[in-house]
Structure 1
């Protein structure tokens, strides 16, 4: 595969005819997904307002759900601000960041089956975090965040480089490459953790949960809010880069710069989220695909929906984990893993039916 080829999605472009919105053109292979659609769908403000109301309802439910009675006098009010509010804010920030990072990965790789989970990015972040504990045990939370993000960036770039050096004959090869890389890195991380008696700590990272999120331990997550805003700023460039190197260059854009910048944003989101709450599997895979099925592939018009969808999904899964066996709690990663695996298999079957 040449660098100009679309890894996993085939060639294609969106064109305008007589001033009409851009339409999709399939590649000749017949089994490749369509190229990004530049024209946004018709706006329906009432749908957005309804989605915002649903998300707001989920967030209120998150604030009101818990074992401790926050209405129990002054101490209850204090617990509300120490635990419930930080946890809900963390759900919003992590859900929005991981969902948008999945959208960015799918556009840059031109493959719907890629996100931080299926590209091995989160496994690289965990390896960087473990090396920080082993080599720099005195480093603070911010230092761990920086090193985990740097490690995730190295892993994501390695994934991109491998994709550009192999021949992609089916869309399923791309996530398989990422999953295999992630498995190797995860095995190395587990070996190091076992050797230095850190398996319990590693288990906490792999078992993503918002249980430990309290005031004073979640504030670094505001960094991923900046990541989400930067994705909004770069939305049009990412859309054009998703059409391939030749088209991006013809628009006067630096394809390599967009690729590196987008990968860096994904790495920061994965690194910071791993440090604070651990893994959130398939979140960046499920939400962008559902939104794209309904609205097409325009990044800018889809971003608000992806953000809302990410927040709604992670909050709903967290509520299920907190209430299904109350007063105990199931980690949100387990619920997300079940939902994400079902959606992933559905997408695979849908892709096979198309082919």
Structure 2
């Protein structure tokens, strides 16, 4: 069975593409991300375009400065952080499970965060001062629950997938039940759509240190991740402590996905599709994989957020809906391409 999981080259063998493909990919992504950042800072619910916003800054217009500093800038920073976290978490999950369809949702993190946040909205609205902390705690507990269920005895890929999907379906049913039985369904639906429109600096302060730690740790584990994706027998042959590395990767997935979902809601398809796009664009090069995934995820979420503002102006579409609308056909194209190649 042919999969899209990264298969590293043997030690000492240099990929034919060398550094050109990764560098070209990084350059293109940086250019698109820069355009997205300009659009994110310059476009909002008002009719002002980026040039008008820049003109307002040049004139030191108080209203423009306050809008950018307190509304658009934290939203932009959070979009970059959330996108990077989800993409890296997806790449880690696919390496851990050796499954090209794996994503942070497979680990129960998304559903755990959703249950915690929806329960907070419905039953304890007076705790709104806690911000995204309940969702972060719920995401961590969801991931720990899946890992503990799957690792009874020995951690098998089938057990991890089954435990993850079982917990995901159970917690999703709880969310749906709370939405049906309570009057806060509008707030619930909006949060579950996945959006960074209400981003505040408190959210940035909560999420970005955790995301930065997770991405940096994953970035220095490139070789270990490539060996991990080969399976426990091969990893042991290479001298890797498979159980320890698997546990560390699982913890990173929980940390990254939990922090991202806590402040943005469940933005789908980023963790699933970005690793495939990077392998297609830059090839199988372990040292570039995680940084390019982070860059691509940041670009995808930031661009989706801007598109949600522009295409439906003056209304806004949540970034999670935009990524689903774009990601679904794109993923189908990648699957079809993979079948043709195989």
User: Which TM class, normalised by the smaller chain length?
Assistant: 0.7 to 0.9
* From 100, 125, 133, the counterpart of 1:112: 100
* From 131, 145, 158, the counterpart of 1:141: 131
Structure 2 partner of 1:262: 249
1:157 aligned onto 2:133:
no
Distance verdict in 2 for CA 1:145–1:295, change over 3 Å? same
Distance verdict in 2 for CA 1:341–1:253, change over 3 Å? same
Distance verdict in 2 for CA 1:48–1:7, change over 3 Å? closer
Distance verdict in 2 for CA 1:121–1:351, change over 3 Å? farther
The structure richer in helix per residue is: 2
In structure 1, distance between residues paired with 2:118 and 2:194: 16
- The worse-fitting range, judged by mean Cα deviation, of 91-100 and 44-53 is 44-53
In structure 2, distance between residues paired with 1:352 and 1:47: 24
Root-mean-square deviation over aligned CA pairs: 3.4
Distance verdict in 2 for CA 1:92–1:240, change over 3 Å? same
1:308 aligned onto 2:295:
yes
* From 112, 130, 138, the counterpart of 1:124: 112
Aligned-pair CA distance for 1:92: 0.8
In structure 1, distance between residues paired with 2:13 and 2:201: 51
Aligned residues: 325
Consecutive unaligned residues of structure 1, counting only runs of 5 or more, are 1-5, 22-38, 169-173
Distance verdict in 2 for CA 1:208–1:47, change over 3 Å? closer
Distance verdict in 2 for CA 1:145–1:235, change over 3 Å? farther
Structure 1 partner of 2:325: 338
Aligned-pair CA distance for 1:289: 0.2
Structure 2 partner of 1:218: 204
Aligned-pair CA distance for 1:47: 5.1
Contact 2:132 2:203 in 1 (8 A): no
Structure 2 partner of 1:77: 65
Contact 1:207 1:333 in 2 (8 A): yes
Distance verdict in 2 for CA 1:129–1:42, change over 3 Å? same
In structure 1, distance between residues paired with 2:163 and 2:213: 30
Aligned-pair CA distance for 1:181: 5.0
Q: Deviations over 1:89-146 (max 9, x none)?
A: 0111011111111111111111211112455431232124345665897482364254
Contact 1:122 1:274 in 2 (8 A): yes
In structure 2, distance between residues paired with 1:209 and 1:217: 13
Contact 2:111 2:139 in 1 (8 A): no
Distance verdict in 2 for CA 1:313–1:82, change over 3 Å? same
Contact 1:152 1:271 in 2 (8 A): no
Q: How do 1:240-279 residues align onto structure 2 when only pairs under 5 Å count?
A: 240-279=227-266
